[in-house]
Amino acid sequence: VTRVASLALVSSACDVVSSAYTCTKQSHPCVRSVCDAAEKGLRTLTAAAASGAQPLLTRLEPQISTANELACKGLDKLEEKLPILQQPPERVTS
């Protein structure tokens, strides 16, 4: 996930979505209230899920590690075949 998020095109897309979300929240008070409540709920759920899932994650660590290695190898091949993924978005659009 970290490697995919660090790809220039993915990172740029995330920045655009984040900026649009922030701008929308700031522009519309009703939307801001709903988003703030949703964010608070997600933080609570994430904390509960993280602590509850820890024993399972510990048991599945070898399988998760193997899946991560396979995903990284696949990403290596994808980056090799599509070097455009490493290009800045401005260059891709031009």
Three-class secondary structure of residue 36 per DSSP:
helix
pLDDT of 94 higher than 90: no
The string of pLDDT tens digits covering residues 65-78 is 999 999 999 999 99
Tell me which of 77 and 93 has the higher pLDDT: 77
Does the pTM surpass 0.75? The reply is no
* CA gap 61, 67 in Å, rounded: 10
Q: Would you list the domain boundaries of the chain?
A: 29-77
The string of pLDDT tens digits covering residues 43-73 is 999 999 988 898 998 999 999 999 999 999 9
What tokens were used for 2? 């970290």
Q: Which residues, in sequence order, are CB contacts of 75 under 8 Å at separation 6+?
A: 3, 4
* CA gap 38, 51 in Å, rounded: 20
